[in-house]
Copies of this chain bind each other. A is one copy, B any other.
Amino acid sequence: MGSVRTQPGSVRPGGRTARVRAAVLRAAGDALVENGVHGLDLADVAFRAGVGKTTVYRRWSSVPGLVADLLDDMAEQSLPRSDTGSLLGDLTANARLVRTTLADPRQGVLFKAVIAAATCDARTAEALNRFYTTRVNEWAPCVEAAARRGEVPPDTDPHEVIRAVSAPLYYRLLASGDPLDEAAADRAAAAAAIAAREGAYARTER
């Protein structure tokens, strides 16, 4: 429905509108990293973006609205998928990519902030779901390949396996506070690979 995005439905998608969106989203990311969602002031974002605060309020209306648009923007920046020839290799590559992202001071804080925003606002939550669906879809093929190679049962749910790799890393980031080191990433990948091999992620029949 009424997405804030500029490209598709905008009446006048010309240069200025797109420039403003890019500048504001960039500024929003910076401000989010520095102050978190709670301390996000749209007037401050406007100032950083070199834009009038009225503009920010008019187009995004609120903090969750802005964060949701930021998420849609993030989803478009696709990350390269590895293909190492083995499921464990691919999952390890994925786990290390996720852990590097979350352990990065800037991106880690950004992800935390975005998840926090999603817990408050339904539209942001939908945007977050879209984001993760996109990411999981990008990596699902490596599980399908493993199924073709006979490494995992044919009824394995690829999405479930990919999610199983990320889940422990996000748990550390958000809940437990344990260090997000490479050992944790490798362990998450290994556990998911073993459980997948043993058929723990069989598609639920309905």
Contact = CB atoms under 8 A, between A and B. Distances in A.
Given A170-B171, A190-B200, A191-B195, A177 B125 contact: yes
A99 to B, nearest CB: 14
Interface of A is mostly: helix
A79 interface: no
A18 interface: no
Contacts of A83: none
Interface stretch (A41-49, A142-150, A160-168): A160-168
A194 B190 CA distance: 12
A116 to B, nearest CB: 4
A118 B168 CA distance: 18
Contacts of A132: 175-176
Contacts of A163: 168, 171, 176
A171 to B, nearest CB: 4
Interface string A102-127: 00000000001101111111000110
Interface of A: 36-39, 63-64, 112-113, 115-121, 125-126, 128-129, 132-133, 136, 160, 163-164, 166-168, 170-171, 174-177, 183, 187, 190-192, 194-195, 198, 200-201, 204
